[in-house]
Each structure stands twice: as structure tokens, then as C-alpha cells.
Amino acid sequence: MDIRNIAIIAHVDHGKTTLVDQLLQQSGTFRENQAVTERAMDSNDLERERGITILAKCTSVVWKNTRINIIDTPGHADFGGEVERILSMVDGAVILVDAAEGALPQTKFVLGKALARGLRPMVVVNKVDRGDARPDEVHDEVFDLFAALGANDEQLDFPMLYASGRQGWADRELEGARENLHALFDLILEHVPSPGLDKDKPFAMVSTILESDNFLGRILTGRIEQGRAKVNMPIRALRADGSVVETGRITKLLSFRGLERVPVEEAEAGDIVAIAGLSEATIPDTLAEPSVEEPLPSTPIDPPTLSMTFRINDGPLGGREGKKVTSRQIRDRLFKETEGNVAIKVTESPESEAFEVAGRGELQLGVLIENMRREGFELTIGRPRVLFRENPETGEQEEPFEEVVIDVDEPYSGVVVEKMSLRKGVMQDMRQSGGDKVRLTFMIPSRGLIGYHGEFLTDTRGSGLMNRLFHSYQPHAGAIEGRRNGSLISAEDGATTPYALFSLQDRGTLFVDAGEKIYVGMILGEHSRENDLEVNAVREKKLTNMRASGKDDAVVLVPPRKMSLEQAIAYIEDDELVEVTPSAIRLRKRYLDPHERKRAARGAKG
């Protein structure tokens, strides 16, 4: 059977996964009576809740006697490293662009990588049924983007379709019949070349996706670049420098059929397969027959840019809400994560019972923490820190910088520019982007963005869109001012009372409700001034037999500000921690005892 390998590429939320669902449906991959969940490719709970793809996934459909392997790639910049490796497995790409939002940074990032690999992408302008769709303008934007990224004449002559993934149609003309996706299937067969690889050479492939299975152990997925793979054949794993990692046998060979992985006895060059049988091989090792001496070329893994400290929960409420609370359990879980997630690095921390976890960004590490709390872990998490590096030539300290593209209503552009400049952001471009919206482009140190997203949504009344992408390492940009307000810190253990909280409302914004358990050193809210303030939130009203009219009116409490996990991690300062349990997210001071806090503050100043 003939083969085509394609990747579907787009910015977050432009409709990749929904479109793949429709491709599966219309190619007859699902039985008519088969129950299929919406966004079937987003199989993980967190992916469904957040509406984003976190892990690259492979599926395949058969159309006109040709097997089309489709890889649904993550659209978020934190998972961008995965996208690069996936492009090495395919011969074509479908660039999906929202008909209203147009080409955004992640589209630009992945398209640049695809063009550099010599792929000739096809463009699908999706969501043309939106009320604010502007398909013709978006077509021009995409052409300009191809040109700006150095596309050659052949790549610039890209075929284009208009589509609605949700309604399940794609047409070459904007006013087409709008019946089905046949035009997209036919265009893939016509425009994407078959792999054309040598099936007679000794077997070799680069491992591109790694996962762990309770029954099969380590599973490595990739495209067979040459030769044939057979069950039980001896293979070995080679590092990029040619050293042998391990030798073993293929115990299981799995090929993709629809959403399922099906065991096969043999697969040949060009097909995308998953292999079990090795215990140490990882991404991007070459798996090959023992006669192969040279590793295949591969994309190196991007270095982590952000680090957080994961500690045991040693607070007074520790161990009450989770099942997994020891440092050994946390250590085992983190090292298990590194087996399947090569972008994360874990090292032992100088602090006792703590680990340094480094990754590509706040979202990636936030996903890991959220998964752990759902598994029953209790942790305390330190403030995210950007990883600096020394320039090998100049010896100068460098830090990661990001390109940030912000779409915002014109009235809010002033406050955004002001806040970004305070965080050492430098504006690169400012232009109108449809209606009364403005598109601002900044270059900013990664650490300047820590904690800014929540503030940005408040400043723009929730209407702003911010997209960020790692750009490069540049010289250190200098000190950035942190949070301006201090914290309201509990001076007592117990449960909060409405009477006490009512009297604290004037002091700042509260994070806790009446009746919540609190402890000494826990952060109850944000002080309206710059200093920290210790408060008593468990005070009861003194009852006497004297009653004054009008004094006992019902206490009216302002609803507290509840933070999500990412907001809490972004909010804390260096001397604060986030306590994460299966049922709660709390903020606390690193040192709960007030005397220890003062000593630590004096030591920091000294």
C-alpha cells in the first residue's frame, strides 16, 4: 500500500484536533455505531480541560488505497521542541490558520522549521464560518509570512483550501459546495510525495516520541528511514556521537490504524511505527540493525529555560489531603516523568528533601504539577527561576529572551506597553490588526513574563491575547521590579471566621473564605501596601449580654480571589511557596515562624 506522512501544524486553538476527528470520521476509520468522544486525539484529561494538545499523537487513515499517517502536533510554544522532531518524520505539512486570528507566533515558528526542512506545506484557512472571519486578508498574511521566512518559489506556490473543521468540510473555493473533506484528502495524495526511502538497506530509524507503558515498558515511535523492521530482530541504539547505548530485540512492533496501535509482524521504510524491547534508548537515538555503524541525523533537544524547586509538603496540614507525601515517592515520580518527557530535567536540590525540575516554560511544568496532584501527591513548589548560561566566547552571562505578540483593543494598548517596558520588554512592531485591535510585538527576557499573564488579563479586561515564543539567549537585561504589594500572613492556627475576615477586607485582597483551615505563616491575601502584615483571621466576636441596635447586621464578605495553579506559581516571591495537594492550593511563606522569617530577611540583606 502507498504511504503519505503528514503533520498538522497550527497555533493553539486554531482547530487541528477537531479537524483530525473529522478526517477519521469521513475516511470510515470509525464504525458508524462507534461511540467517539469529541476531540478524540486529545486523550488526556488535562488536554480536554485546557483545550490544548500537550503530546504529539499519530493516527492513520486509508483513502483511495493509500495509507495517510497524520501526526497531530502540539501548538503551544512550551512543547515546541516536540514539533521540530515530528517534522523529521513527515514529507508534507498542513498549515492550519484561523480565518479570524490569522497567522500567530506558533504558526510562524513551526512554519519556519517546516520550510527549513524543505517541506512544501499546504494551507488550510479554517473556521471560515466564524462571524468575524476575513479569509482573503488571512491568505495575504500567510503569503507574506512564507516570504518573510525565506520560502523558495516552489514553497511560495502553496495550494490552499477554505474549511470548517467543526462542520467537516473543505473546498478549494470560498463559495464551494461545503459538503465534506474529500478536497483535503485528494490534495494530500496529489501534493505530498510518498517517502521514497530505500527498503533494501539495513533497518534504521530515529526515535522521535517516547512513552512508558506498564506492560510493554519503554515505547519508541519514529519513521523507518531505511530497510524493514521485524518482530524479534536484534537491534541496537546509537547516540548522536555514534556510541552504543544498548543492544536488544524488537519484542513488539506496533503500527497505527486509526486511533489504535495494532501489533504487526513487519514494517518497511516510510511507515511510522512504535517499537518496544529497549530499556535505555531515548530521544533522539538511532535504532538500527547491529551492522549499522553511523547514527542517522537528528534534531537535538532544546535546553530547558526555566526551573522550579519541588519539595515535600512540610506545612502543618501536610499529609492530610494526599496519599503520596514522602520525598522518595516524589523523587520516583519525577524521574519516571523524565523517561517519557525528554524536555524535563530533574536534579537533586541542595535543600533537603527537594528536587530541581527544569523545563521549557511555566505551562509545561504546570501540567506536570497538575498531573501529580491528581495522582494524590502533596508538594510545595518554589518560585520559577530562569536558567542563565555563560556565553562560551565572551564569558558574559546570558538569559533566554522571548518574542511576544499581543493582540489587544486599542484603549488598552497604552497600559500594555507601559507594563512590558517595566519588565524590560522592547517593542519591535505595532500595527492595526482588524477593527479597533492593535497587534504589538515585543522582545522581552523570559523572567519578565513570569507572573505577568494574570495582570495582563486584568489590564485588558480579559480581551487581550498574548502569544510567546522562545527567541534566543541574549545578554542579561538587568534587574526587574517584582510584585509591589506585600502579603497578609496568618499569625494564628485555626479556621477563619466571617467576623475576622470582615475586619481584614480593608487591608487588602483576601485569598481565603470563611471556615477555611489556616496556619501560622500561611498567606491569606495581598496587602494593600508594600510591606507584609501579620493578621489574626480566626478571631471570634466577643459575646456579651449587652446588645446595641444596628451593630449585629449580617457580615457581608467580598468573594475571595481564588488562584489557579499557574497563577499561584506566578504570583509568589522568592521567600514564598505554593502548597499543592489533591484538594487545595495554598500560598505560604517559606519560613512559617515569624522569627525565622526575620532572621532569613536579615541574612538576605547582609
pLDDT digits (tens, 9 = 90+) for 17-57: 777 778 878 877 654 444 343 334 444 444 444 444 434 46
- Tens of pLDDT, residue by residue over 275-301, are 998 888 888 888 999 998 888 887 766
The pTM is what?
0.73
Q: Are residues 516 and 462 in the same domain?
A: no
- Tens of pLDDT, residue by residue over 192-209, are 988 888 888 999 998 888
β-pair type (160-164, 122-126): parallel
The size of the chain, in residues, is: 606
Query: Domain of 225: which CATH number?
Result: 2.40.30.10
Q: Are residues 470 and 507 in the same domain?
A: no
Distances (CA, A) of 449 to 168, 227, 595: 38, 47, 33
In a domain, 123, yes or no: yes
* Greater pLDDT, 550 or 299: 299
Residue 464's DSSP bridge partners are none
Annotated binding site: 13-18, 126-129
In a domain, 381, yes or no: no
Q: Are residues 170 and 46 in the same domain?
A: yes
Q: Report the alpha-carbon angle 134-138-139, nearest 5.
A: 120
First to last CA, the chain: 72
CB 538 within 8 A of CB 518: yes
Please provide residue 103's backbone torsions phi and psi, each rounded to the nearest 5 degrees: -80, 125
Domain stop point among 288, 312, 331: 288
Query: Domain of 111: which CATH number?
Result: 3.40.50.300
Q: What is the DSSP string of 430-452?
A: EEE-STTEEEEEEEEEHHHHTTH
Domain containing residue 452: 389-475
Q: Are residues 129 and 6 in the same domain?
A: yes
In a domain, 321, yes or no: no
- Tens of pLDDT, residue by residue over 165-198, are 888 888 888 887 788 888 899 999 999 988 888 8
Q: Are residues 467 and 505 in the same domain?
A: no
Q: How many domains does the chain have?
A: 4
The DSSP symbol for 432 reads E
- Tens of pLDDT, residue by residue over 445-504, are 988 888 787 778 788 887 787 777 778 888 988 888 777 788 999 999 999 999 999 989
Is the pLDDT at 244 greater than 60? The verdict is yes
Give the mean model confidence (pLDDT) for residues 303-332: 89
In a domain, 524, yes or no: yes
Query: Domain of 506: which CATH number?
Result: 2.40.50.250
Q: How far apart, in whole angstroms, are the C-alpha atoms of residue 402 and residue 400?
A: 7
Q: Are residues 124 and 174 in the same domain?
A: yes
Q: Are residues 77 and 224 in the same domain?
A: no
- Candidates 146, 78, 53, 107; CA nearest to 405 is 107
Annotated binding site for GTP: 13-18, 126-129
In a domain, 148, yes or no: yes
Q: Which residue has the cell 501560622?
A: 520
Q: Are residues 27 and 173 in the same domain?
A: yes
- Candidates 184, 267, 283; CA nearest to 230 is 267
Please give the grid coordinates belonging to residue 549: 441596635
Q: How far apart, in whole angstroms, are the C-alpha atoms of residue 603 and residue 184?
A: 65
Q: Are residues 18 and 88 in the same domain?
A: yes
Q: Are residues 558 and 451 in the same domain?
A: no
- Candidates 563, 559, 511, 571; CA nearest to 537 is 511
Binning pLDDT at 50, 70 and 90, where does residue 581 land? very high
In a domain, 320, yes or no: no
Domain stop point among 240, 261, 288: 288
Q: Are residues 71 and 178 in the same domain?
A: yes
Query: Domain of 456: which CATH number?
Result: 3.30.70.240
Distances (CA, A) of 118 to 83, 95, 228: 15, 14, 25
